[in-house]
Amino acid sequence: MLRIWVANSVLLWIVVLLNLLLTIALIRRFNDMSTNLSAFADMDVGLEKGISAPDFQAQKLTGETVTLADYAHKVVSFIFVSPHCSPCLEKIPKLNALAAKAKQAGVEMLLVNTDGDKAETETFVKKHNVALPVLIAPNESNSFASDYKALATPSYCIINHDSHVAAAGVFKPGWEEQLMQVLAIV
């Protein structure tokens, strides 16, 4: 009887030690992941305020090609998104609502799809009830997003009347208020 009790105690301690080692390994892994994520959050995304906006070419859903010149003397906010980006999809309803307010303030908000062709973009627009105008500029064949340093989605770049960058960056907590404040002063 004593042997069984000793054997069970030893097995129990082995299981406890293994559990402890696995827990320590998981904590280290999460710490490494959080370090990597914070490095990503600090990544330099977006053009520097005040510089001239680079020219670009993108396609509207109608098939028409547009460039920066089509938005000359207008305040425009490009919101770079991907249909495969869940944070982007979560922001669509709020962006739709903000677009109406921005339009009243004389600012045009446009989504720039950085991932997908015209057919995929049309499906994305219908499926997620996108009310904003959409430009198509897939990263693999168009330099729009990289020229604007939109290295992550969702990100934004607001261009003022003189075609200079008023603000740019990634969406962070409180982004709606930040975006509306920037749009109000442009």
Q: Please check whether residues 129 and 161 belong to one and the same domain.
A: yes
Same domain, 114 and 179: yes
Same domain, 82 and 140: yes
Give the pLDDT confidence score for residue 39 in this predicted structure.
46
Question: Are 181 and 113 in the same domain?
Answer: yes
Strand stretches in 15-172, DSSP E: 57-60, 65-67, 75-81, 107-113, 134-136, 155-159, 165-170
Give the other-Cβ count within 10 Å of 32's Cβ: 10
Q: CA-to-CA distance for 143 and 150, rounded, in angstroms?
A: 10
Contact 83, 50 (CB under 8 A): no
- Residue 5's domain comprises 1-42
Do 61 and 144 belong together in one domain? Answer: yes
Taking CA atoms, 130 is separated from 44, 89, 162, 184, in Å, by 28, 10, 28, 23
Is 81 a domain residue?
yes
88, 150: one domain: yes
Is residue 117 located within the same domain as residue 177?
A: yes
Instruction: List the CATH number of the domain containing 74.
Output: 3.40.30.10
* 142 and 66 in a common domain: yes
**Do residue 71 and residue 28 come from a single domain?**
no
The verdict on residue 77 lying in a domain is yes
* pLDDT tens digits, one per residue of 70-123: 999 999 999 999 998 888 999 999 999 888 888 888 889 999 999 988 999 999
Tens of pLDDT, residues 32-74: 665 444 444 555 678 899 999 999 999 999 999 999 999 999 9
Identify the pLDDT of residue 38: 45
- What's the chain's length in residues? 186
Across the chain, what does the average pLDDT equal? 85
pLDDT confidence bin for 18, thresholds 50/70/90: confident
91 belongs to a structural domain: yes
Q: Are residues 68 and 38 in the same domain?
A: no
User: Global pTM?
Assistant: 0.74
For residue 148, with 0-12 CB atoms within 10 Å meaning exposed, 13-18 middle and 19 or more buried, which class applies?
buried
Question: Do 150 and 106 sit in the same domain of this protein?
Answer: yes
The pLDDT, as a whole number, for residue 71 is 95
Question: How many domains does the chain divide into?
Answer: 2
Q: Could you tell me if 154 and 87 are in contact, meaning their C-beta atoms sit under 8 angstroms apart? A: yes
- Sorting pLDDT into bands at 50, 70 and 90, what band is 9? confident
Instruction: Indicate whether 47 belongs to any domain.
Output: no
